[in-house]
Amino acid sequence: MTEGIVDEPAIPTEAASAEVKPMTEPSAVEIPEQLKSGFRFILVKPKSKEAFEKGWQETANYASDDPRLTDHLKKNGNYGVLPTERQLIVDVDRAGLEAGIDKLLLKKFGRTFTVKTPHGGLHLYYNTDTEQEPQNLPLRDSKTGQNLGHVKANRGGYTVGPGCSVED
């Protein structure tokens, strides 16, 4: 299963509904331009969500043009997107979509670069004006306690990058 691009703005703008856009399947995964500024990237095992290297939070993370990352992608490896100090990623599960988390985020923060995940959720990538604390916080329904996703900030967690393939 492969992630597909839903919405393309690099930073939040005015609120608008997201449209699903077709995505081609290149032979090697390519990192979208919207993520190349500021985000860091880690090596992820092929067809997996598991990090390829230890220490990805501190040292084993790379700029989008780092030869180690580009060579890994040419060999059909996956990559992870790691938010840095002024970025966060909201990982919304299918249950979160059913609860309307995506609509709440759109209303509160506006449009941003968004991809649909292979399992029916969304990854929303935000640039912020303030430095974030490292965190990987669960999003939970306040009434039922059901997990709706996660917020990952400042190297507190990563998401598998757009265009990567994962096996179920």
Predicted pLDDT of residue 68 = 97
Residue 166 lies in a domain: no
pLDDT (tens digit, 0 to 9) for every residue of the chain, 168 residues total?
555 555 554 443 333 334 444 444 445 789 999 999 889 999 999 999 999 999 999 999 999 999 999 999 999 999 999 999 999 999 999 888 999 999 999 998 889 999 999 888 999 999 999 999 999 999 998 889 999 999 999 999 999 999 999 886
The three state secondary structure string of the chain is CECEEEECCCCCCCCCCCCCCCCCCCCCCCCCHHHCCCCEEEEECCCCCCECCCCCCCCCCECCCCHHHHHHHHCCCEEEEECCCCEEEEEECHHHHHCCHHHHHHHHHCCCEEEECCCCCEEEEEECCCCCCCEEEEEECCCCCCEEEEEEECCCCCEECCCCECCC
- Looking at the domain assignment, is residue 165 inside a domain? no
Identify whether 111 is part of a domain. yes
pLDDT score, position 22:
43
Residue 153 domain-assigned (yes or no):
yes
The pLDDT score that the predictor gives to residue 118 is 84
Look at the chain and report how many structural domains it folds into: 1
pLDDT at 20: 45
Evaluate whether residue 133 is within a structural domain: yes
Write out the residue range of the structural domain in which residue 124 sits: 4-23+31-160
| Residue 168 resides in a domain | no
